[in-house]
Amino acid sequence: MKDVNVPALVVFVLFFLLVTAMGFLASRWRRADNAAHLDEWGLGGRSFGTWVTWFLLGGDLYTAYTFVAVPAAVYATGAAGFFAVPYTIIAYPLVFLFLPRLWSVSRVHGYVTPADFVRGRYGSRPLSLVVALTGILATMPYIALQLVGIQAVLDVLGVGGGENANWFVKDLPLFLAFGVLAAYTYSSGLRAPALIAFVKDALVYIVIIVAVIYIPLRLGGYGHIFDAAADHFKQAKAGGLTLPDNKQWTYATLGLGSAMALFMYPHSVTGVLASKSRNTVRRNMAIMPAYSLMLGLLALLGFMAIAAGVGSGVKGYNSQLSVPQLFASMFPDWFTGVAFAAIGIGALVPAAIMSIAAANLFTRNVYKEWLKPAATPADETRIAKLVSLLVKVGALVFVLGMDKQAAINLQLLGGLWILQTFVAIVGGLFTRWFHHWALFAGWAAGMVYGTWKAYGLASPATKHFGGNAAEIPGIGEIGYIGLTAFALNLIVAVALTLVLRAVKAPDGPDETKPSDYSAEAGDDELENAPEPVAAH
């Protein structure tokens, strides 16, 4: 049995109890007249202003993945692990072009999910269904990654019994995290993570500011840290402080593909649609890059862990533990508890939003569309609450069935899948030219190719899904599989649309009009719009 860091554990538990209480109390925050409507439970009443949305999106996008997997990738591979920094810089100017349009058309027509928009834009039930199912599929590993983050923290704290414990004790932290998530998301919906995000982000900024000042002082400065990291990679004959020439394509395509996928995720869209105005969305896309500065500082923790000797000499060391163990070795026990609380809450907030987003997709685009078209708003909310529980169970099974050292690849696999919805969603926000059957075929081609290529990649930790890059056909360079699959998706969609247009294949009805894409809250057409309902 491992030693338990009691002071750190006490601080961690106190913060954990605090945010749990906030999660339950959130049901009383901005309570609506009709709390049984899915807009209220699943989108917080579409009422969040600039700062609430900023904290919500920050809590949503900068997760336990940020705290654990990004520095772990830097710890293991060096410069290649920094791909997460440029991709977030690329993402915000990109999504600034289309997210306000998605917010406007969704507000006019009462769309709750991106699949709702696809259904309304193309008049295609099958295309809407596959967009919804892809969103749910891609969300599972992302939630699982948050659970891995919590488990890593509790493992370093001495909770969980270590690798030699029986399966129940070993995975007890995940079961506990599941129970907390299940309880307060069921009760409070999106308002819970929106409220908790204030605490989460405050803790994250405090810990990062302290870490990038205090830890280098203890280690002899940044010069020593970089020298130690360079020596480490040289001896290991793997990784480095700079990218070798044969990794340039991989780095660039991974950054671009990840940027394109970021706001295709259902939880990202959920945070955007919860905003109260189009200008709220635009302002957030302008100020969200502030988080990218924090991300760059976080990535440096991987080099600090190397300089501190974390995992040194341990065969098969799990790099996902590098940052928690760095904090445990560098900080006083009480502040270690604060840092671990930041990671733990950084997992709870996005996991809650992700489970809500997946539940919204199932309820609106599977249950109401295919199983019970006559479902009332109260029925939708009830089903969404139940599905949010099932999604967490699915994510739990997902992570228990895969190697923990592959945590970052879980998220990258989800990114590969969700990227295949880009053509249908973003293309539809600007043009109606694509034929819905061509988009369906392009999606299928991208999904099959990307999954097949990822399945064939092995690593020391796993026989399958062991990486994210493979040779790009026709170019010969190694690049991100998701972006290659996206290119295939787009080519198929364009080519087949040309064929279907040429033979005058019938198209589905478009329930939107051009003015819908620039509508702001308070516009006449919005004021006169009916109470939001399923877009069918």
Query: In a structure prediction context, what are the per-residue pLDDT tens digits for the chain, which is 536 residues long?
Result: 467 888 998 999 899 889 888 988 887 776 665 667 888 899 988 989 999 999 999 888 888 767 788 898 899 899 998 888 888 889 999 999 999 999 999 999 999 999 999 999 999 999 999 999 999 989 887 887 787 777 778 778 877 655 566 666 667 766 776 787 788 888 889 998 999 999 888 999 999 999 999 999 999 999 999 999 999 999 988 889 999 888 899 999 999 999 999 999 999 999 999 999 999 999 999 999 888 888 899 999 999 999 999 988 787 787 878 999 999 999 999 999 999 999 888 888 898 999 999 999 999 999 999 999 999 999 999 999 999 988 888 777 766 766 554 555 666 678 899 999 999 999 999 999 999 999 999 999 999 999 999 988 887 667 777 778 999 999 999 999 999 999 999 999 999 999 999 999 999 999 999 999 999 876 644 544 444 444 44
Burial class (CB in 10 A: 0-12, 13-18, 19+), 514: exposed
Residue 338 φ/ψ, nearest 5 degrees: -65, -45
Q: What is the pLDDT of residue 344?
A: 87
Q: What is the pLDDT of residue 530?
A: 45
Q: What is the pLDDT of residue 174?
A: 67
Burial class (CB in 10 A: 0-12, 13-18, 19+), 50: middle
Q: Is-contact 332 1, C-beta < 8 A?
A: no
Q: What is the pLDDT of residue 533?
A: 45
CA 23 to the chain's CA centroid: 20
Helix (H) or strand (E) holding 198, with range, is helix 191-219
Q: CA neighbours within 13 Å on the CB side: how many for 256?
A: 13
Residue 283 CB: number of other CB atoms within 10 A?
17
Q: What is the pLDDT of residue 118?
A: 98
The one-letter amino acid at 113: T
Q: What is the pLDDT of residue 217?
A: 96
Q: What is the pLDDT of residue 178?
A: 74
Tokens for 90, please give them.
Answer: 């690329």
Helix, coil or strand: residue 54: helix
Q: What is the pLDDT of residue 536?
A: 42
The one-letter amino acid at 518: S
Q: What is the pLDDT of residue 356?
A: 94
Residue 368 CB: number of other CB atoms within 10 A?
22
Q: What is the pLDDT of residue 152?
A: 75
The one-letter amino acid at 225: I
Q: What is the pLDDT of residue 169?
A: 67
Helix 422-430 vs helix 99-109: crossing angle, to nearest 10:
80
Give which of 467, 56, 220 is closest to 45, Cα–Cα.
Answer: 56
